[in-house]
Each structure stands twice: as C-alpha cells, then as structure tokens.
C-alpha cells in the first residue's frame, strides 16, 4: 500500500502533467482542429486552384493532427482517471483484481490503474491503417509471389501501373537510367515473352520448321552475341553441334543407323 507521501508525490506529478497537456492543447487549438477545414489553417479559400500533390500533403497533415490530438486527449483522460482514483482512495490498486500495483510500475506509468496481468492492452496489434498499403512493397501478398511461375502477380501489377509514371526521376538512382520509362523496378522485364529470340524466331504448331524473321530485335540480339563472342545466350555450341539435341531425333538416327 502506498504511503501518504507517495500518494502526494504521484498527485503532484499527475497535476503537472495535466496542466502541461491542457496548456499545449489550448495553445495549438487542439492541433488546429478547431478550424472547420484545413484550408483555414493554411490560408486557402478552396481546393480549386491547388495541385493534387499539395492537397495530398495538406490532407496528410490534417490526418496526422487528428491522430496526435486523439493520442493527447487519451493521455489527458488517463491522468484524470488516476487523479479521480486518488480522490477515491483507490489509487495504487488494480481496478480488476484489487491487488497493489508495484511501485516500480507506478513510477514508470503514474496514470495506470491496472496491474500488468489485467491491463486492457495485452498485445500490440498488427493492424495498420489502410493508407499504408500504398507505401509498402507490393510483394509477398499472394502465395505465388515467391515462385518462379510466369503468372501475373502483384509485382507485375505494380510494374504495369508504374509505366505510366512515378515520382522517381533519373536523379533518384545511383546509376541514372537513359529514359524516364526505365525509372521503375525491373523496367527491362520482357512483356509477353520470356526469351529475346521469341521476338523474331517462330515454329509451326508442332515445333518444327524453325524460321527467323529479320527485325530490329533480331539485329540487336545478333550484335549482343557478337560482342560477347558467343553463338548462343547459353554459351558456344559443342563441336558436335550437328548432332541431334532431342531424344526423339536421337532415336530416329539410331534406327536409321541400325542394320
């Protein structure tokens, strides 16, 4: 049980905290929430001639003010509850079980009226504001995001949207890209194909009759191979490159060579 001197000390701390919070709320007009609209706080008459980015900034500031105001008013309510408990003679005892609250806990949280076991907030919630969805990485939200499949996943969704422009500029990168169309993640990913040669090479429906169609992509592909001194993207072909590369053709050749 707390002594009279301890009770007096805690009352003094709580009263000072209460006066400080009330003065702060009075000086800042409850974080400028006394105004009817955030335009009043920034001296604007309307949103008509404002850039959407400026409007977004002002909206963010107003949301932040609301959160800070709610947090401060909740702190003030806790102080008033503790002072009320002192007046009733119940300060220092848990509201639920009636046991003495350890002095160390009261010194750390003078506003508490619960012991650790019965505090209303037993866990930290993992729920976040929906607005944070737009700033978090758009990956890992689907089961197939971590797989090697070619399915259109959330990363592809972001890339598709980012093609139309982001707030990034070439100066935001360690190595500045050559074009604004390359300022989003993995901008060089192929769309509609996997390998570069699919842009100019084709076969019939049975995978036969390979044909190469001359095109700018084919020219770039050949030049890239020449620069690397390779015959294919997976390295030079072996000396016996004329030999079959499929089991089916190998079997056919074996049949032909057998007496």
Same domain, 29 and 98: yes
Same domain, 15 and 110: yes
| Residue 105 located in a structural domain | yes
Same domain, 9 and 92: yes
Domain holding 20, by residue range, is 4-118
CA 166, distance to chain mean position in Å, is: 16
Same domain, 22 and 76: yes
Over residues 10-33, the pLDDT tens digits come to: 999 999 999 999 999 998 888 888
Determine the Cα–Cα distance for residues 113 and 132; give it in Å rounded to an integer.
33
Q: Smallest Cα–Cα separation from 64: which of 20, 134, 129, 126?
A: 129
Predicted local confidence at residue 153, as pLDDT: 66
| Residue 40 located in a structural domain | yes
Predicted local confidence at residue 242, as pLDDT: 46
Residue 160 token pair: 């598709």
Predicted local confidence at residue 109, as pLDDT: 93
Give SS3 for 113: coil
Contacts within 8 Å (CB) and 24+ apart, 145-153:
150/194
The stretches in the chain having pLDDT less than 70 are: 36-45, 131-154, 191-192, 234-250, 253-259
Same domain, 95 and 80: yes
Determine the Cα–Cα distance for residues 171 and 150; give it in Å rounded to an integer.
32
Predicted local confidence at residue 76, as pLDDT: 95
Predicted local confidence at residue 88, as pLDDT: 93
Return left, alpha or beta for 92; rule: phi > 0 is left, psi -120 to 50 is alpha, else beta: left
Determine the Cα–Cα distance for residues 253 and 13; give it in Å rounded to an integer.
95
Predicted local confidence at residue 12, as pLDDT: 95
CATH of the domain at 91: 1.20.120.910
| Residue 125 located in a structural domain | no
| Residue 131 located in a structural domain | no
Predicted local confidence at residue 99, as pLDDT: 92
- Beta strand spans in the chain (E): 201-202, 211-212
Predicted local confidence at residue 83, as pLDDT: 95
| Residue 127 located in a structural domain | no
Predicted local confidence at residue 93, as pLDDT: 94
CB 244 within 8 A of CB 253: yes
Name the burial class of residue 1, with classes exposed (0-12), middle (13-18) and buried (19+) by CB atoms within 10 angstroms of its CB: exposed
């Amino acid at each position: 049980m707390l002594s009279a001197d301890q009770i007096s000390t805690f009352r003094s701390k709580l009263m000072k905290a209460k006066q400080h919070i009330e003065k702060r709320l009075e000086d800042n007009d409850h974080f400028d929430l006394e105004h009817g609209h955030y335009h009043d706080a920034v001296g604007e008459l309307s949103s008509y001639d404002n850039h959407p980015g400026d409007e977004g900034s002002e909206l963010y500031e107003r949301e932040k003010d609301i959160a800070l105001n709610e947090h401060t008013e909740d702190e003030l309510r806790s102080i008033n509850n503790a002072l009320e408990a002192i007046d009733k003679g119940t300060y220092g005892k848990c509201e639920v079980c009636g046991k003495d609250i350890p002095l160390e806990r009261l010194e750390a949280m003078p506003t508490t009226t619960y012991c650790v076991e019965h505090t209303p907030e037993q866990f930290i919630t993992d729920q976040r504001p929906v607005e944070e969805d737009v700033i978090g990485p758009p990956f890992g939200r689907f089961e197939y995001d971590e797989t090697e499949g070619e399915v259109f996943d959330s990363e592809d969704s972001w890339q598709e949207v980012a093609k139309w422009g982001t707030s990034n500029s070439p100066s935001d990168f360690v190595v500045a890209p050559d074009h604004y169309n390359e300022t989003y993640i993995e901008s060089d990913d192929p769309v509609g194909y996997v390998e570069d040669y699919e842009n100019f090479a084709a076969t019939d429906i049975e995978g036969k009759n390979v044909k190469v169609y001359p095109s700018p992509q084919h020219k770039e592909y050949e030049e890239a191979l020449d620069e690397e001194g390779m015959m294919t993207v997976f390295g030079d072909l072996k000396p016996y490159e004329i030999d079959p590369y499929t089991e089916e053709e190998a079997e056919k050749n074996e049949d032909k060579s057998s007496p």
